[in-house]
């Protein structure tokens, strides 16, 4: 994977790129994450696509300006990022917060988007869950114990890769990281439920949800599937909030079949 950086409105943005295809595939991570969250599936997708994976502004190793991190702001960032790197046609996979951002982008940029994959997206659920509470506490007070507990709850697995735990702790200790995290949470809380925008999405869409997701429970999938006109739904068995981490091979095969 090649690591690059660009400037957007004087902010340094870090991203990863792999693959030489003329077909572009953008991966958008979730709250508090970074491009590394996708590292298990990037090699699968890079066989057929040029895979582009940014650290969202405010997250990972990208700059974290003092702004309001609303979903509109983050969706606009994706548009600016794509314009800056010269991409005008693509498919998108978005996870959790990244799924809501991808849906917002699809609503405003139907002419650019070929296909859309939303993985356990936010945008409908308005209350918290114990797993989300644990994740918020780990972000505010990052330690091995708090992060391990949060990721165990989110995945339903006891054995979590140390690299995931340590990477999360390091990211949350960066300057302004907690500010961006909490600002994004407030932006999600204040945002309108995305249902009305989903109705206008024209791109063929797939919703993927882990059957045991404790962060955004699978019951919320129906709201997305029923609202989007051309939509398929896949429930991934024995998976939590991030099925592309829990079962990367199966996830990649499912999504590639849909994209192709």
- Two tokens, residue 97: 């917060």
Residue 82's pLDDT band, with cuts at 50, 70 and 90, is very high
Output the domain CATH number for residue 47: 3.40.50.1820
- How high does pLDDT run on average in the chain? 96
The answer to whether residue 136 is domain-embedded is: no
Packing angle of the helix pair 162-172, 177-190 (nearest 10 deg): 90
Residue range 44-81, pLDDT digits in tens:
999 999 999 999 999 999 999 999 999 999 999 999 99
The answer to whether residue 142 is domain-embedded is: no
- Two tokens, residue 5: 């950086």
Residue range 2-61, pLDDT digits in tens:
999 999 999 999 999 999 999 999 999 999 999 999 999 999 999 999 999 999 999 999
Q: Cα separations (Å) of 207 from 71, 114, 117, 121, 225? A: 19, 15, 6, 8, 7
- Rounded to whole angstroms, how far apart are CA atoms 212 and 60? 27
The answer to whether residue 109 is domain-embedded is: yes
221 sits in which H/E element: helix 221-227
pLDDT score for 158 = 82
| Exposure class string for 106-128: b at 16+ Cβ within 10 A, else e | bbbbeebbebbbbbbbbbbbeee
pLDDT score for 191 = 84
- Rounded to whole angstroms, how far apart are CA atoms 93 and 258? 12
The answer to whether residue 247 is domain-embedded is: yes
pLDDT score for 217 = 97
SS3 assignment for 46-108: CCCCEEEEECCCCCCCCCCCCCCCCHHHHHHHHHHHHHHHCCCCEEEEEECHHHHHHHHHHHH
pLDDT score for 192 = 86
Q: How far apart are the first and last CA of the chain?
A: 23
- Two tokens, residue 132: 């989300």
Residue range 173-227, pLDDT digits in tens:
999 999 999 999 999 988 888 988 999 999 999 999 999 999 999 999 999 999 9
pLDDT score for 220 = 96
Domain count, the chain: 1
Residue 1 pLDDT greater than 90, yes or no: no
The answer to whether residue 129 is domain-embedded is: no
153: helix, coil or strand? helix
pLDDT score for 252 = 98
Residue 126 pLDDT greater than 90, yes or no: no
The answer to whether residue 150 is domain-embedded is: no
Task: Say what the pTM is.
Answer: 0.96
Q: Residue 15's beta-bridge partner residues? A: 4, 54
Residue range 88-119, pLDDT digits in tens:
999 999 999 999 999 999 999 989 999 999 99
- Two tokens, residue 84: 């800056």
Give the residue-averaged pLDDT of 218-239.
96
The answer to whether residue 97 is domain-embedded is: yes
CB neighbour class for 249 (10 Å; exposed up to 12, middle 13-18, buried from 19): exposed
The answer to whether residue 81 is domain-embedded is: yes
**Domain span at residue 54?**
2-124+192-259
pLDDT score for 157 = 82
| Exposure class string for 18-53: b at 16+ Cβ within 10 A, else e | bbeeeebbbbbbbbbbbbbbbbbbbebbbeebbbbb
């Amino acid at each position: 994977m090649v690591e690059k950086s660009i400037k957007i409105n004087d902010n340094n943005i870090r991203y990863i790129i792999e693959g030489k295809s003329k077909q572009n595939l953008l991966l958008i991570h979730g709250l508090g994450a970074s491009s590394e969250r996708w590292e298990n599936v990037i090699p699968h997708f890079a066989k057929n696509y040029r895979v582009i994976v940014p650290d969202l502004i405010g997250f990972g190793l990208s700059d974290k300006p003092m702004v309001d991190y609303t979903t509109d702001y983050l969706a606009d960032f994706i548009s600016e990022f794509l314009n800056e790197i010269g991409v005008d046609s693509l498919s998108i996979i978005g996870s959790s917060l990244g799924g809501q951002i991808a849906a917002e982008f699809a609503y405003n940029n139907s002419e650019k988007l070929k296909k859309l994959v939303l993985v356990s997206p936010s945008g409908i659920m308005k209350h918290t869950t114990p797993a989300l509470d644990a994740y918020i506490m780990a972000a505010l007070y990052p330690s091995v114990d708090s992060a391990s507990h949060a990721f165990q709850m989110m995945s339903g697995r006891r054995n979590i890769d140390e690299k995931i735990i340590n990477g999360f702790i390091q990211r949350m200790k960066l300057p302004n990281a907690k500010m961006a995290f909490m600002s994004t949470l407030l932006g999600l809380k204040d945002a309108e439920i995305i249902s009305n925008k989903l109705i206008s999405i024209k791109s063929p869409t797939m919703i993927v949800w882990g059957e045991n997701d404790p962060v955004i429970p699978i019951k919320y999938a129906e709201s997305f599937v029923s609202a989007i006109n051309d939509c398929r739904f896949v429930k991934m068995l024995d998976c939590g909030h991030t099925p592309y981490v829990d079962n990367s091979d199966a996830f990649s095969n499912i999504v590639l079949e849909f994209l192709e």
